Structure 1
Amino acid sequence: MDAQWLAAPEYGLAREILQRGVAAIYLIAFVAAARQFRALIGEHGMLPVPRFVERVPFRVAPSLFHLRYSDRLFAAIAWSGAVLSAAILSGAANLVPLWAAMVAWLVLWVLYLSIVNVGQRWYGFGWESLLLEAGFLAMLLGNDDTAPPVLILWLVRWLVFRVEFGAGLIKMRGDPCWRDLTCLHYHHETQPMPGPLSWFFHHLPKPLHRVEVAGNHVAQLLVPFALFAPQPVASAAAGIVIVTQLWLVMSGNFAWLNWVTIVLAFGAIDRSAYSAVLPVSSAPALPTPPLWYAAIVIAATALSAFLSYWPVRNMLGRRQHMNASFNPFHLVNTYGAFGSIGRTRYELVIEGTDESTLTDRTVWKEYGFKGKPGDPRRLPRQWAPYHLRLDWLMWFAALSPTYAKDWFGPFIARLLRNDAPTLRLLQHNPFPDAPPQHVRAALYEYRFTTWRELRHERAWWHRSLVGQYLPAIALGELSAR
């Protein structure tokens, strides 16, 4: 049996970019997990892993932590994943035999799957599944010991298609502002975590916003089909995906969602397309895939084809889910984003006081967050592809208390104790010497300032009080609830 038909040597450079990119995002994801887990899901976190694995069986959420959990073990797994990711990023996977490179990628996938499956609400984002699926395909692409397998390259395109087309469908089926081309009148201001350029994007002329929305529909509803066309059409389609995703990178903070999509899109660009714009040499001779490797690739392709039934049904169905995994291994998922757009931005402002008796003259001091809007004079920061999980869920909590019913109380309790891991998630703690006596939360409406207000007030945001979200509470009162 000859596996030469499986080889696609003209995609060697595409594989290199894709694998190094996925490894870089894995590195960021593992570092973020290591730095944030104690307060979020640690033994004494807001949603502890031990409590979760007691009630959720392994078959529902496969994870190494079903065998044993400790904060030390979690840290060891997260930092081990970061080290292995860095090694692959530096090219180590091309210095070992094919089987060893695949094992390294498999270990990364197992380690991150173990984290995601016990991450609960903190890890309930579509880009977690996207990274796991991308990492699984990166494993199957092999290394320099063999040419990239054409079947896996098609699965990469199928993944990009689902990301883009799923997002386009959910928009057209969702908020009417996507159909009348007005969603970007609001989106840059009301998105979960604006970036440093979001204020400027918001103030672009409204006719240009309409052009942006129309262009988005073309990029997400038409261009993805061209990924399956012959070259150079597929490379051109991938280029359009990359450019539109970079536009999203500049306009907000969406963790690694855009970056994973970008590196996957590079997998559809062949060497001739690169050589048209860059001084790229001809494709080097690569060995034919060994039979055992070909068998794995064919089996994985058959499995992906079988698992594709559920995301296809989701996209074609009337009740499309934006992001969903249909199996506990997060393979062949469905994707989508921003099916609805808020018209008004709400933010929670958390304040504390060191006064034991509250009066009308009580002095309240505000906690500062790293990414979410707070101080109106503070320009939003660029954090993506790093993911600030607490800041993202604070946006959801402001939309409705139901999004925070399981973690907001524990979060406030940790502020009242000056819990060190929790405070490390914040930008500013107004009580560095002793914990506050009371903490409260207020709901504010935020809007971007105008050009005139920015010049005169030196503020990026204007905020007005909507009402009380959580009344002033002491630690003893919270424990009694």
Structure 2
Amino acid sequence: MEWFAAENYHTARFVLQRGIALMYLVAFVAVLRQFQPLLGSRGLLPVPRYLERVGAWAGPTIFRWRYSDALVLVLGWVGVLVAASLMAGLPQTGPPWVPFAAFGVLFGLYLSVVNVGQVFYGFGWETLLLEAGFLAAFLGSDDVAPPFLVLLAFRWLLFRVEFGAGMIKMRGDRVWRDLTALYYHHETQPMPGPLSWFFHHLPRPLHRVEVAANHVVQLVVPFLLFLPQPVASIAAALVIATQLWLVLSGNFAWLNSLTLLLAFSAVGDDQLTAVLPALAPVLAGPEATGSLWWVILVGVMAAVTVVLAVRPARNLLSPNQAMNASYNRWHLGGSYGAFGSVTRRRDEVVVEGTTDPEGRSGWREYVFRGKPGPVDRWPRQVAPYHLRLDWGMWFLALGSSAQHRWFLAFLGRLLEADRATLRLLARDPFDGVRPVWVRARVFRYRYSTWAELKAQHCWWVREERRVLVAPTRATDLSV
């Protein structure tokens, strides 16, 4: 069945399987390092309380059967080990059902986490990772050729990501339409990276060219992914180049890395060897379609994909387009998009504590791992890792009431000098000693100029705007 077996896409399968497995490994490492202080039994938003409140509405999750912090650790380590085996290509050496089962385990375990993750897992790239893992289960093993229907499903997923992002921009903030969005974006994005300061200071005419090029890649190029080769590979190369640019200019967890990987679904072996002839001897692979059961299973997946495509397709055409939406509890067939609006100014919440019993002096700042804090601290590269607490702090500074409940619990943990919570931070100014008071103030941040960077060695300039939480003691909080 020549229509079924994609004999020219062995590189695509290699990159997709191992790359998506790498993203799952990163995600499960974050579960091991962050889940307990954020969502555990004594977390900021405890899962047991959440499940008591919402019950079956949480969706499929192993934690409805039983929750314990120990079970989270088991889940996380199983996810890490299975993902690592897929990166090494071990399940791929067996029949197709082996990598199918391995990716099925990753999907099921991570779905269990996302469905109880509340605001800390309320990001579009969680659904994107789940969808990618679901599709990767159907890519087969080294015994069979990659199924072309699965590669088409990957391209449809990439289309939704790119075209959805392009349309939400055109329907949203005027700065995307007048090409001025990057006058602000690099400075106000949630998690600036080490090069973001330099991107911000590029000439403004170049920023306008960047935005125009982004519109072309997101609004035109996605349609080319479905055309014959070499057009599809060229379109994929443009997406890959754009995503690499975004990786360099900011920290968006695994969104850009995963989108880059999805683009390989349109890269043909012949087109790749035309550019890199030395790869020709290693790109050969099987031409077999596999057993009948495998063909039927892939056909069922394709039919499910078509059915699930209806709602996101309608969303793309709707004037009230949703930016990131899941239409079922399995997080399949979702809608995507990012930055329909761009903030013009950057506010940051600065958390401080003191051991002074009167709270009059000795205030020292808690330093977060990724978000801006001390003005002389060069922004870090953290993506594709996801610092969930730091992202929550960005939304908190925007005035999100959904973040405030967990933030008060966070302040309570700081007053306790809770070790698990403090491990989420880059620096505890009290080295494990309990502060007597904590407070939170909102500062307006802007990037320093070239002259200020040279003279003061500061990447940011900040000034206080308001008090978010007045000086507070443990007796003032119910934690």
TM-score by length of 1: 0.97
Please name the residue that 1:408 is paired with. Answer: 407
Structure 1, unpaired ranges of 5+: none
Please name the residue that 2:115 is paired with. Answer: 117
CA distance in 2, matches of 1:401, 1:151: 42
Moved more, 110-119 or 92-101: 92-101
The 3-state SS of whatever aligns with 1:434 is coil
- 1:287 offset after TM fit, Å? 1.9
Change (3 A) 1:311 1:272: same
1:68 is aligned, of 60, 66, 74, to 66
CA distance in 1, matches of 2:292, 2:414: 58
Please name the residue that 2:286 is paired with. Answer: 285
Please name the residue that 2:396 is paired with. Answer: 397
Q: 1:200-239 to 2 correspondence within 5 Å?
A: 200-239=198-237
- 1:5 offset after TM fit, Å? 3.0
CA distance in 1, matches of 2:345, 2:323: 22
Contact in 1 for aligned 2:142/2:286 (Cα 8 Å): no
Q: What letter is aligned with 1:410?
A: A
Q: What letter is aligned with 1:374?
A: G
Measured against aligned partners, the alpha-carbon deviations of 1:386-417 in whole angstroms (never above 9, x if no partner) come to 00000011001001041412211111000000
Q: What letter is aligned with 2:349?
A: L
CA distance in 2, matches of 1:145, 1:105: 17
Name the % identity: 55
CA distance in 2, matches of 1:382, 1:308: 35
- 1:59 offset after TM fit, Å? 5.5
Structure 2, unpaired ranges of 5+: none
Q: What letter is aligned with 2:190?
A: P
2:103 is aligned, of 102, 105, 112, to 105
Please name the residue that 1:347 is paired with. Answer: 348
1:276 is aligned, of 241, 254, 274, to 274
Contact in 1 for aligned 2:143/2:286 (Cα 8 Å): no
Please name the residue that 1:179 is paired with. Answer: 177
Q: 1:44-55 to 2 correspondence within 5 Å?
A: 44-55=42-53
Tell whether 2:189 aligns with 1:191.
yes
Q: What letter is aligned with 2:187?
A: E
- 1:164 offset after TM fit, Å? 0.2
The 3-state SS of whatever aligns with 1:349 is strand
Tell whether 2:351 aligns with 1:371.
no
The 3-state SS of whatever aligns with 1:193 is coil
The 3-state SS of whatever aligns with 1:56 is helix
Contact in 1 for aligned 2:190/2:391 (Cα 8 Å): yes
Contact in 2 for aligned 1:4/1:289 (Cα 8 Å): no
The 3-state SS of whatever aligns with 2:421 is helix
The 3-state SS of whatever aligns with 2:257 is helix
The 3-state SS of whatever aligns with 1:283 is coil
Contact in 2 for aligned 1:6/1:289 (Cα 8 Å): no
Count residues with an aligned counterpart: 476
Measured against aligned partners, the alpha-carbon deviations of 1:151-207 in whole angstroms (never above 9, x if no partner) come to 111001001000000000000000000000000000000000000000000000000
- 1:95 offset after TM fit, Å? 2.1
The 3-state SS of whatever aligns with 1:10 is coil
2:152 is aligned, of 147, 151, 154, to 154
Please name the residue that 1:260 is paired with. Answer: 258
Contact in 1 for aligned 2:142/2:285 (Cα 8 Å): no
Q: What letter is aligned with 1:415?
A: L
- 1:9 offset after TM fit, Å? 1.3
- 1:4 offset after TM fit, Å? 4.5
Tell whether 2:11 aligns with 1:13.
yes
The 3-state SS of whatever aligns with 2:461 is strand
CA distance in 2, matches of 1:285, 1:103: 21
C-alpha root-mean-square deviation of aligned residues, in Å?
A: 1.1
- 1:211 offset after TM fit, Å? 0.2
1:80 is aligned, of 70, 78, 81, to 78
TM-score by length of 2: 0.98
Measured against aligned partners, the alpha-carbon deviations of 1:292-323 in whole angstroms (never above 9, x if no partner) come to 11111111111111111111111111111111
CA distance in 1, matches of 2:433, 2:288: 65
